[in-house]
Structure 1
C-alpha cells in the first residue's frame, strides 16, 4: 500500500470532470466534495454485478495485496470482505442505521442499556427546528461514519451554514468505497441527540468483538485527542487478561486500564445484540457506572486492519465461521 496507490484509485473514480472540478476548487477556493462527485458520477452507476470487482480494486489500492481468496477466505480481514458481499442483510442495514437501531435494541429487551436521548429526526435539512433544540446537542447523518457535528453552545452556531452542511450530508450515500453495503439501504435522515458530557471521545470506549453471536475480546480505546487523532488501545479476553495483539491503530496502553465493575453486564449485552450475526463489534461506553450504547460495527476498520503481531489476522479468521449465503441478498 502507498499513498500514491490510494490517490490514483480515487482519481480514477473522479474521472476527468471530477479532476477538473477538484482543480478549479483549489484554484478559485470554491468548495468541491470529491466523495459526493465520485458517488454521483461513478459509484451510483455501478451495477451490483460489478461490486465484487470494485471491492478487489479498492482492497488492492488500500493494502497492496490482491484479494485472491474472496471465495475461500482464511484471514479475519478477508472474511470481512466476503461478508460484505454475501451477508448483506436487512437486519444489518437496520443495525447500521443510527436511527433504526434504537428499535432493534428495544426489541432485544435491554432496559438497562442507555442511549443518548433522541431530540429529533428529519428527512430534509430545511425542516430542522434549531429553535427547539437545547443549548448543546449532536447532529448526525443516520447511515454513515464520521458525519457528526458536536454543538456545545448553540448561540455560537451559524445556523444557515449548518443547514447547508446537513443538506450535503443527506446527499451522501456512505459505504461505496470499500463496499460497506449495510449503509446503502437506509433512507437518509439527520438526527439530533442530546450531548452527554464524556461521550465525545474522552473516556474509555469498549469495543466487544463477537464471533457467531459469542463475545470473545474487548478492545479498550481511550485517552484520545480527537483533533490530533491520538490515543491508546489494548485488547483483553473476557476475564480481563491483556492480550498480546492489537490493530496498530493506536499505541498500546503503557499501563492497562482496570477492569470495569460492570464488565460482565457489558459482555451479556454484547451477547444479546450480536446473536443474529456472523461478526459484529458491539461498541459501548461506561459513563459513571451506566452502560451506554455506541454503535454496532459490522466491518471493523473496513476489513483492512493492520493486525499485529504476525499471525493474529489468521487466528481471528479461524474464530469466524462464515454462513452459507448468496451474494447481494
Structure 2
C-alpha cells in the first residue's frame, strides 16, 4: 500500500491512532493544541504562568530554525565536532550512518565491544548491545529498522522539530548506567538542575532536583527525587558543567541540556526541547 493509499484508508475511518491523526492532520498546530488540552488540561497556553506552560507553548509556537539541527542527534554531534571549544565533550569513537534501513553489513563494520545504538530522529529510540561471537544482532537490527520507519514528530502531539530530520543511526561506546545531568534552561539561563540514573528501559532513579546552584528549589518537575540539594562533590561537577550549558542553551526560549560526568570529564548527551512531549507535572515544595 502506498502512503497515499494508506491516507485514503485513514480518511475512510481506518487506522485512526494518535500517530496517524497527527500525521494526516491538515492543521498540525491545531492538532497539537487539542492534544495538549486533552492530555494536559491544566496547561495554560494562552497566558503561560510557569515553566511547564512555557515548555508546551514553545512546543507549538517556537519555530526556532536551530531546533531541528540540535534535535537531530547526528547533526548535533557534527556541530559540536566542528566547534573547537566544545569538541572534547563528545563521546568517542562514534559510528554514523544516514539510512532508512540498518543492515547486517553496517553492524559488521563495528569492532567487537559493548555499544549504545541510537536513532537520530527521535527520543528513547536506543538500545545497548554487545558485539561478540555468538551474540545474534537480529532483534537489535529489527528494532532499529522499526524506529527508522517512523516519524517521531507524530508520536506525542506533534513535535515539529523532528518532522524533517533525515533518519540515521549513531553508535557510541556503552558506558553503562550513567547519571544524567539535566539542565532546564530558559532564555539561556539555568532554572533547575536534575540528576537521573537510567537503570533500564523506562526504569529511572530520580536522584536530585535543585535550583541552578544546587540548592533547594521552589518546586520540582515530575517524580519526587531522593534529595533537593547537591553534595559538595556534585557541586564541583555542577560548576564545571555550567559554562558548557551556557554555550549550548544560548538564547533558546527553552531547552533542556543533558550532560554526563565521566571520569571527571564532561560529556554531551543531547538537547531536548519538549521533554516527555510536554507531559510534565509541576509540584510545589
TM-score, normalized by the shorter chain, greater than 0.5 = yes
Contact 2:22 2:31 in 1 (8 A): no
Alpha-carbon RMSD:
2.8
Q: Distance in 2 between matches of 1:303 and 1:75?
A: 13
Q: How many residues align?
A: 271
CA contact (8 A) 2:216 2:228 kept: no
Of 14, 38, 59, which residue of structure 2 is paired with 1:61?
38
| Range moving further from structure 2, 155-164 or 263-272 | 155-164
Q: Aligned partners of 2:36, 2:131: CA distance in 1, in Å?
A: 41
Which SS does the other structure have where 2:210 is aligned? strand
5+ residue gaps, structure 2: 1-9
**1:240 corresponds to which residue?**
214
Task: Please list every run of 5 or more consecutive structure 1 residues that lacks an aligned counterpart in the other structure.
Answer: 1-12, 20-36, 311-329
SS of 2:66 mapped into structure 1: helix
Q: Which has the higher strand share?
A: 2
CA 1:234/1:66 → structure 2, altered by over 3 Å: closer, same or farther? closer
Measure how far apart 1:179 and its partner are: 1.7
| Equivalent residue runs for 1:143-162 within 5 Å | 143-162=121-140
1:213 to 163, 184, 188: 188
- Residues 151 and 251 (structure 1), Cα distance of their counterparts in 2 relative to 1, 3 Å cut: same
Question: Could you tell me which of 141, 150, 161 is aligned with 1:182?
Answer: 161
The alignment partner of 1:42 has SS state of: helix
User: Distance in 2 between the 1:255 and 1:54 partners?
Assistant: 39
Are the equivalent residues in 2 in contact too, given 1:14–1:38 (CA < 8 A)? Answer: no
1:169 corresponding residue in structure 2: 147
In the alignment, which residue of structure 2 is the partner of 1:46? 25
Whether the 8 Å CA contact 2:215–2:230 is kept in 1: the answer is: no
Superposition TM-score, scaled by structure 2 size: 0.83
2:7 corresponds to which residue?
A: none
TM-score, length-scaled by structure 1: 0.73
